[in-house]
A and B are shown apart, each in its own frame.
Chain A
Amino acid sequence: MSDWESVIGLEAHVQLKTRTKIFSGAPTAFGAPPNTQACAVDLALPGVLPVLNGEAVRMAIVFGLAVEGDIAERCRFDRKSYFYPDLPKGYQISQLDEPIVTGGHLDIENEDGSTKRIRLTRAHLEEDAGKSLHEDYQGKTGIDLNRAGTPLLEVVSEPELASPEEAGRYFRTLHTLVRTLGICDGNLNEGSMRCDANISVRQRGSTELGERTEIKNLNSFRFLDKALAFEIERQIDVLESGGRVERQTLLYDAERDETRPMRGKELSDDYRYFPDPDLLPVMVTESMLDEARATLPELPTAKRRRYVEELGLTDYDARWLTVDPDTATYFDAAAAASGQPKAAANWVMGDVAAAVRREEAAWTRVPVPAAQLGKLIKRIEDGSISGKIAKSLFQTLWNDGGDVDELIGSRGLKQVSDSDEIAAIVRRVIDANPAQVEQVRSGKTRVLGFLVGQAMKASGGKANPRRVSELLQEALSGDAS
């Protein structure tokens, strides 16, 4: 197997999260009952005409800027003809010769922290098709056109991905980017991002590309990885047994974990592309570019660099926090509110992340607002509450809401650092535990921990543990002398 290497290129279909469709005013929301979000234009009734949604163009421009591609001054739409029941017009409006974005790159990070630059061929706008529903209709096929006309940005990479792992990293990097840019919701299980993969294998060291196959419609990170792994192995088997890889389009069957040649009307040898006469060429002006530039958020790579260089986070933490832009947004707010980025990072990656996972909450709707988490961190730092109290207070905030300072006040959670008060508690603990006291005095210092614990318990967790320990040691050594 080490004799072979694989060459992979991905065509990712990114659903743009515009409110309405790319060529009609129908809403794009997911999950509505079949055919309730398809208007006359989406149904391709006779006489209807497409009108381009400017928001989709803006999003494509934002993407082009983010990947440093060339944004065409003038681009246009073409008709791609094929017959399929969920393609209402009998053609898809897409961009062939004049895509809105040409070139650009995505930098993916390898295991060892080094980066690899993957060049993009192009990114173009097109409309999604509807869905054919083969279940539930007793030998018939149902057609749901809710998705028909949803804007897609098809992002095509150069064949520069060397393994399923790299392809996975590329797809994840793209996923993070489009979510950061706010142009896609990234919900893979709703089909918001899907990809087609082109794969070929060749003898390691060879510069020529082998014959490739294309796997269509991979809609999860796991399926992408498994499908590529299966296909690479299949191609190597074919070549090693003296066969030839046939150029074909495949589907990945997740249940059987295998790729199979695709049969169906979506495939055509000739899509008869030609410029769509219903749409004028799109002119991208300087002011449209300026406007898009102004809305461009901090990109994941820049964010990661800032976390390390300015906030002093570890590279691991910085990467962890920037995978999901919503997590990063939450962290940024908590770090700002607390003034303590490192502590904020620990909380976000620890208690917050655990709760988010446990409760299946969204990072955009964490029940503990970042401002409250920031306050909580501040109160630990200024000694108002102990770390332990803070953890339970976080749970309270998560479950019931409220304000950190009010809760500390109303529930009497303020940490006790007053020496007289703590000294009194220490006295009671010493009196109540003569045996342990004796053990400490005879040199078994680890029993001191037990006494500290008893004192903390007696204080209801509010005593400052460091102060308790100090006063205990003082008292015991004082008694001994």
Chain B
Amino acid sequence: MTVGRFATIEDIRAALKSKTTSAVELARERLDRIAASDLNSFVTVCEEDALAAAGEADKRIACQGQTGLVGVPIAHKDVFCTAGVRTTCASRMLSEFVPPYDATVVTKLRDSGAIMLGKTNMDEFAMGSSNENSYFGPVSNPWDATRVPGGSSGGSAAAVAAGLVPAATATDTGGSIRQPAALCGISGLKPTYGRVSRYGMVAFASSLDQGGPMARSAEDLRLLLQHMEGHDPLDSTSADVGPTPHETDGTGLRIGIPREYFAATVDDAAAILERLGHGRLEISLPHTAYATAAYYVVASAEASTNLSRYDGVRFGHRAESPVDLDDLYARSRSEGFGAEVKRRILTGTYALSIGYYDAYYRKAQRLRRLVRQDFLDAFETVDLILAPSTPSTAFEKGALVAPDETKDPTVMYAQDVYTVPASLAGLPALSIPCGIVDGLPVGMQIIAPHFGEDRLLSLAESFQRETDWHQRTPAVHGTNARASDTSGGRYSMEGRRGSAGSGGGAQRMQSAGPAMGRS
């Protein structure tokens, strides 16, 4: 007997506990599903290792029963280093890079018994909001294959949304967990900066990068966070604050709604929260308008130096027959990096240069402090902040980026307008589904004070007890998926059970291509 395609981790644990399924069976089934999928959500699938680990998990379950995440199949965003398994960051630069060590998050999840099925696609070096900046090609949104899943953790979001895995790791620098979670109709948590170790997570912007979970419910997010968080002596910026408690009852909270955010999309959600007994207050985050600009300066500045190590000397892509050192550098980097990565390296290099440092980097840091202060002031009067996750539902592939670089990149950057402020402030924030518009999921964002994950998750859990948006799924033929709402089912996928590794070319897709649901 198998568990449903869209089972949560809690469902899977129950099935493993009751022995209605085995870890091997679960892994096998999902590996087949991954092989049959043509979402392009995986860069690398680890079939053999996964089945071997699942076998071990079954032995563990046989003697000790199911505990932790034992036997639960997951995927890692391909930004987390995995010993012996190539870690590409979806870049040509690292397309053949096999790390000799595991990221701390990878170690922790393995120790908890989770089974890694593979590495998910993403925007190159986590730079992007549509997953179109991948050396391995774009990822499709399971709700509509003509649309993007969001980014940069688009592969993880699409894989969870399509029921390929019940959960996946992801990273969020300016919205890379929350935005794709919203566009794919799943739950995603960006923890407080410092909550989850960054060791072994390939750096994009060190002062903003934060790993976190993507799953099908807030309850699952909490469970995953428990097995990802914790102080790490290998990461100086990881916080020594102890595990996230589970003590907030999630009632009678004061919910702030920022007047600077276009909050109509979360009106219904706010009404539900009011019905649940929470207070609703309008608040002001006056520096919101500057957040995106400040973010792109700070993040690009840090990225420009974080990516200096990719020089063709020690690892990564190396140009053929360089004539001298300059040629080695120039060609290795020109060939190895994609357009968006180059753009950010150039932007960051410029912002840090003599004569521009004060005008850009220093000013951006000042704005960052002001944005942070806005939140600290707001949290004097409210317990949590409710906001939209994204300015629109999933947009069509190619709508905001063009291969010939003719589109204004700042339009794509504006996708992060609602997620960037919490990133700059280092605050925990999550996105959970709160509606469907024209057949596409809509996400709402909740932001908490530093290390307020318990409160954040409690509210999300109570919202999900009251609503079923998080249980809506894209229509997938040949599975036991539940139908979505009446306007859903625009995307149909005829899954074919094939052996893993046979590739996913055999699916037919039909898309009714609804108009972009920009709100």
Interface residues, chain A, with chain B CB atoms under 8 Å away: 40, 43-52, 79, 81, 83, 85, 88-91, 143, 265, 269-270, 272-274, 276-280
Q: Which residues of B contact A143 (CB under 8 A)?
A: 313-314
Kindly identify which residue among B94, B207, B236, B353 contacts A49, using a CB–CB cutoff of 8 Å.
B236
Contact (A280, B314) CB under 8 Å given A81-B305, A270-B353? no
The residues in B between 38 and 81 inclusive whose CB is less than 8 angstroms from any CB of A are: 80-81
Minimum C-beta distance from A20 to chain B (A):
13
Minimum C-beta distance from A397 to chain B (A):
49
Q: Which of B176-184, B198-206, B410-418, B458-466 is the contact stretch?
A: B198-206
CA distance A272 to B347 in the complex (A): 13
Minimum C-beta distance from A92 to chain B (A):
11
The residues in B between 211 and 261 inclusive whose CB is less than 8 angstroms from any CB of A are: 233-237
The residue of chain A having its C-beta at the shortest distance from the C-beta of B101 within the complex is A40
Kindly identify which residue among B200, B207, B237 contacts A47, using a CB–CB cutoff of 8 Å.
B200
CA distance A91 to B329 in the complex (A): 15
Tell me whether chain B's interface is mostly helix, strand or loop, or mixed: loop
Q: Contact between B354 and A270 (Cβ–Cβ < 8 Å)? A: yes
Q: Which residues of A contact B270 (CB under 8 A)?
A: none
Kindly identify which residue among A49, A52, A91 contacts B199, using a CB–CB cutoff of 8 Å.
A49
CA distance A51 to B233 in the complex (A): 8
Kindly identify which residue among A46, A85, A273, A274 contacts B81, using a CB–CB cutoff of 8 Å.
A46
Kindly identify which residue among A47, A79, A276, A280 contacts B202, using a CB–CB cutoff of 8 Å.
A47
CA distance A276 to B349 in the complex (A): 15
Q: Contact between A280 and B237 (Cβ–Cβ < 8 Å)? A: yes
Q: Which residues of A contact B81 (CB under 8 A)?
A: 45-47
User: Residue B302 at the A interface, CB < 8 A?
Assistant: yes
The residue of chain A having its C-beta at the shortest distance from the C-beta of B198 within the complex is A49
Contact (A48, B200) CB under 8 Å given A90-B311, A265-B325, A270-B354? yes
Given contacts A47-B81, A49-B234, A277-B206, 13 further A-B contacts (CB under 8 A): A45-B101, A47-B80, A49-B199, A51-B235, A51-B236, A81-B305, A83-B311, A85-B325, A91-B305, A272-B304, A272-B349, A277-B205, A280-B237
Q: Contact between A279 and B236 (Cβ–Cβ < 8 Å)? A: yes
Q: Contact between B305 and A278 (Cβ–Cβ < 8 Å)? A: no
CA distance A255 to B485 in the complex (A): 83
Q: Contact between A46 and B237 (Cβ–Cβ < 8 Å)? A: no
* 13 CB < 8 A contacts A-B: A46-B87, A47-B199, A47-B201, A49-B234, A49-B235, A81-B305, A81-B308, A85-B325, A265-B326, A270-B353, A272-B352, A274-B301, A277-B302
Contact (A46, B309) CB under 8 Å given A265-B325, A274-B361? yes
Give the size range of B's interface with the partner: 35 or more
Contact (A47, B236) CB under 8 Å given A90-B305, A90-B309, A278-B206? no
The list of the 6 closest CB pairs from A to B, nearest first, reads A90-B308, A277-B207, A277-B206, A272-B352, A47-B200, A46-B202
Q: Contact between B308 and A45 (Cβ–Cβ < 8 Å)? A: no
CA distance A43 to B203 in the complex (A): 15
Q: Contact between A85 and B313 (Cβ–Cβ < 8 Å)? A: yes
The residues in B between 310 and 349 inclusive whose CB is less than 8 angstroms from any CB of A are: 311, 313-315, 325-326, 329, 349
CA distance A270 to B356 in the complex (A): 11
The residue of chain B having its C-beta at the shortest distance from the C-beta of A273 within the complex is B352
User: Residue B100 at the A interface, CB < 8 A?
Assistant: yes
Minimum C-beta distance from A31 to chain B (A):
22
CA distance A51 to B197 in the complex (A): 13
Q: Contact between A44 and B309 (Cβ–Cβ < 8 Å)? A: yes
Minimum C-beta distance from B51 to chain A (A):
27
Q: Which residues of B contact A269 (CB under 8 A)?
A: 354
Kindly identify which residue among A46, A51, A79, A276 contacts B94, using a CB–CB cutoff of 8 Å.
A46
CA distance A357 to B352 in the complex (A): 54
Minimum C-beta distance from B359 to chain A (A):
14
Q: Which residues of B contact A276 (CB under 8 A)?
A: 206
Minimum C-beta distance from A374 to chain B (A):
47
Minimum C-beta distance from B360 to chain A (A):
11
Q: Which residues of A contact B99 (CB under 8 A)?
A: 45-47
Q: Give the residue among A43, A79, A89, A279 with the most B Cβ atoms within 10 A.
A: A79
The residue of chain B having its C-beta at the shortest distance from the C-beta of A270 within the complex is B354
Q: Contact between B203 and A47 (Cβ–Cβ < 8 Å)? A: yes
User: Residue B89 at the A interface, CB < 8 A?
Assistant: yes
Q: Which residues of B contact A85 (CB under 8 A)?
A: 311, 313, 325
Minimum C-beta distance from A96 to chain B (A):
11
Minimum C-beta distance from B299 to chain A (A):
10
Q: Which residues of A contact B309 (CB under 8 A)?
A: 44, 46, 88-90
Q: Contact between B89 and A46 (Cβ–Cβ < 8 Å)? A: yes
Q: Which residues of B contact A90 (CB under 8 A)?
A: 305, 308-309, 311
Kindly identify which residue among B89, B234, B352 contacts A51, using a CB–CB cutoff of 8 Å.
B234
Q: Which residues of A contact B325 (CB under 8 A)?
A: 85, 265
The residue of chain B having its C-beta at the shortest distance from the C-beta of A43 within the complex is B314
Q: Which residues of A contact B357 (CB under 8 A)?
A: 272, 274
The residue of chain B having its C-beta at the shortest distance from the C-beta of A264 within the complex is B325
User: Residue B103 at the A interface, CB < 8 A?
Assistant: yes
CA distance A269 to B354 in the complex (A): 9
Kindly identify which residue among B100, B236, B354 contacts A52, using a CB–CB cutoff of 8 Å.
B236
User: Residue B290 at the A interface, CB < 8 A?
Assistant: no
Minimum C-beta distance from A91 to chain B (A):
5
User: Residue B379 at the A interface, CB < 8 A?
Assistant: no
Contact (A278, B329) CB under 8 Å given A45-B315, A81-B305, A83-B311? no
Q: Which residues of A contact B235 (CB under 8 A)?
A: 49, 51
Contact (A45, B100) CB under 8 Å given A143-B313, A277-B206, A278-B237? yes
